[in-house]
Structure 1
């Protein structure tokens, strides 16, 4: 089967939920007080600026380098990111539910401290099984997310042979697309995950070479540091060419 010529994935811009969750974690709270359901969490003002910076990056690409289609998670923060980033580019967008964020089940709206305090058995089970295979009751493991990503990428190869495709997704999307694109092992993926905070509106890309996708950028935020772009917290910057 012919491979894609180019594949990119962008994490959504900063959401109001990201801000609330970070404050809860740093404040030592057990619960995260986000009023909306996960699918309805919107971008923050900073997130909107970040998405517009992605749009500037896309507009700066030559016509032969621009993505031919964008596939977007159905969650509001991701759709808003795509709408702002793709405005004026002429790149068509398709929403696909398989790009939705990982479902956390009983762990939803709990901080790390909250899981340990309120669900000690799940806390221990997660530690035993590890992030890759652990599935919280009512939720998904990373392996579950991989199953839907594999199906999506297989269809994209069939529908866009030799094409250029851009995904708009979530933090787990970026890490797991890298796992698939580079045929990483579980250990290699965990090493990347432990070393990386996937930044909001970061760009990761792979280009076809020798009949396989080869990495170009991972977690790049250079476009967010251009003049007029919103500031990015230093702890969120792990951009690296790969």
Structure 2
């Protein structure tokens, strides 16, 4: 039995582009050991591009047929996800209550927070070695979480969602790692399968969807960006 077999539709989206995403992109391939992000992770805001992406997500919501429209929405408590959800839902011509759940927050990085891979190698070479030995799925940085840890808190979240909203159509606004690990749980994938999927970045404001075929949720689309195009 899966973790969300009672839902009719499960729609996940990543937050729109954030200032943290821009800082990360600027640091990749350089000598930088840290990303230039002054805020704590929970307070990183959307960029103007991210806000426009959220509006386009909302226009997609507005165009859904009635039988596919979300009956509930849940977001990570981080600023970038909350703003994405609020902007998108404001575009929809129907009322959906937005709830917040801390189990949807991004993966905790612990002592590696804010570091590039070059920074990890230089400042914590023992952690880089441990990561290589254990593999990305099971490696837990000191003070942080492994990908397997995400599965534990997400099992709890989805079981609650399944119990409280049977037959519901959920919109979940969250982070890339949460979307990847939701595939792991809903589609009952292996470590090897999900780590292969994780190599493809989940795009900002992209859509990943599952629909119930009468027995369980089946994948409809992954990392879809068509609604963001002109």
With the length of structure 2 as denominator, give the TM-score of the two structures: 0.95
2:223 alignment partner, one of 219, 224, 231: 219
Instruction: Tell me by how many angstroms 1:125 deviates.
Output: 0.4
Instruction: Tell me by how many angstroms 1:16 deviates.
Output: 0.3
SS in structure 1 of the partner of residue 137 of structure 2: helix
Instruction: Tell me by how many angstroms 1:26 deviates.
Output: 2.9
Query: Partner residue of 2:154?
Result: 149
Runs of 4+ with >6 A deviation: none
Instruction: Tell me by how many angstroms 1:210 deviates.
Output: 4.2
CA distance in 2 between partners of 1:223 and 1:27 (Å): 32
Query: Partner residue of 2:66?
Result: 63
Query: Partner residue of 2:80?
Result: 77
Q: Structure 1 residue 162 and structure 2 residue 162: aligned?
A: no
1:143-196: CA deviations, max 9, x gaps?
Answer: 1111111001001110111111111000101100111110001111011112x1
Query: Partner residue of 1:208?
Result: 212
Q: Structure 1 residue 87 and structure 2 residue 122: aligned?
A: no
User: Contact 2:14–2:173 (CA<8 Å) still a contact in 1?
Assistant: yes
1:192 alignment partner, one of 176, 193, 197: 197
1:41 alignment partner, one of 26, 39, 44: 44
Q: Structure 1 residue 176 and structure 2 residue 181: aligned?
A: yes
Higher relative CO (Cα under 8 Å, sequence separation at least 6) belongs to: 2
CA distance in 2 between partners of 1:140 and 1:114 (Å): 19
1:5 alignment partner, one of 3, 8, 20: 8
The two structures, once aligned, show a CA RMSD in angstroms of: 1.1
SS in structure 2 of the partner of residue 145 of structure 1: helix
User: Contact 2:18–2:46 (CA<8 Å) still a contact in 1?
Assistant: yes
CA distance in 2 between partners of 1:22 and 1:72 (Å): 25
Query: Partner residue of 1:109?
Result: 114
1:73-107: CA deviations, max 9, x gaps?
Answer: 00000000001111143111100000000000000
CA distance in 2 between partners of 1:33 and 1:197 (Å): 21
Instruction: Tell me by how many angstroms 1:27 deviates.
Output: 2.4
CA distance in 2 between partners of 1:151 and 1:37 (Å): 26
With the length of structure 1 as denominator, give the TM-score of the two structures: 0.91
- State the aligned residue count: 225
CA distance in 1 between partners of 2:64 and 2:97 (Å): 16
Structure 1: gaps (5+ residues): 228-242
